[in-house]
Amino acid sequence: MSTMFTTLAEKLQGVKKAIVFPESLDERILIAASKLSAERLLTPILIGDAVEIKHHAKELGVTIDNCEIVNPKEFLEFDLMVDTFVDRRAGKATKEQAEEILLDANYFGTMLVYMNQADGLVSGAVHSTGDTVRPALQIIKTKAGIQKTSGVFIMVRDEDTYVFGDCAINIAPDHEDLAEIAIESAATARMFGVDPRVAMLSFSTKGSAKSPETEQVLAGLALAKKKDPNLLIDGEFQFDAAIVPRVAEQKAPTSTIQGDANVFIFPNLDAGNIGYKMAERLGGFEAVGPILQGLNQPVNDLSRGCSAEDVYKLAIITAVQAT
């Protein structure tokens, strides 16, 4: 495990955070939950039928004795949860609708977080990003001053750590979105021990091409600087100018970023999603996330191609976000 994750795990010793796993019958979830509970990093809350979950864990040969299992159909405070959900949805769901909706593991788990019976949630090994994010946006919602949630990946290879965003949520961010993503991604970097040096990416470096797309990146850069004058950020950059010093010296000699960026803001979801997967599959980086930014409480989304180790590490990140 990298130094970053070793440090994060040390932060959780004795903190006793509880993280919800709605997909409790997935092999990867059970393996990760067993490891997390055995190491006493956090308390996994598995959603579903206890007999079925324990039987599946036994088949896999993993121990979940230190995990908590909660069945929505047997939850003693289900009526209170229904009333709380109806109130939170403010007329968008009746009590009858809520009773049905909250039998869905993602909605039920998100409500446990909202009602402070858990500290965060990790889902997405089986469900789509929309199935994970939708309950979070409806129930937990974004922090004051945040217009949209966004999704970043922490990219780790040996001792190298980078933040890539937005790679999961916003398909075509405008300049205001790009500015917000940049600022929030820098905050995420700091949370995990990375001193942010933010590069706004494009197919152009410092005016080498001009188009509505490059102008939007520049507008996002300007707004981010205005909102956070102390943020070390520059652009627009082609990726090589942001990461290779000799290229930066040639293409952007006066920039404050000289091939040493560690937070990369992609101009749209196409670029972000393709970029992180290329780094993962061709570059040998481990992609942890997506980590959802801007929510009042931590909810994070796995890739359906994740491993048990990915689940384990994203759960650690989620618990750290809740500290």
| Strand pairing category for 198-201 and 233-237 | parallel
Q: Please tell me the predicted confidence (pLDDT) of residue 1.
A: 56
Give residue limits of the domains in the chain: 1-141+295-323, 146-294
For the whole model, what pTM was predicted? 0.83
CATH number for region 146-294: 3.40.50.10750
Rounded distance, CA 133 to CA 131, Å?
Answer: 6
Q: At what angle do helices 308-321 and 3-12 cross, to 10 degrees?
A: 50
Q: Please tell me the predicted confidence (pLDDT) of residue 222.
A: 96
Q: Mean pLDDT per 10-residue run, the chain (323 residues)? A: 73 84 94 92 94 94 93 94 94 91 95 96 87 91 90 90 93 96 95 92 93 94 96 94 95 94 97 95 88 92 86 91 86
Q: At what angle do helices 27-38 and 50-60 cross, to 10 degrees?
A: 90
CATH number for region 1-141+295-323: 3.40.50.10950
Do 1-141+295-323 and 146-294 share a fold?
A: yes
- What would the two tokens of residue 82 be? 């229904």
- What would the two tokens of residue 174 be? 């405008």
Q: Please tell me the predicted confidence (pLDDT) of residue 15.
A: 73
Rounded distance, CA 118 to CA 114, Å?
Answer: 8
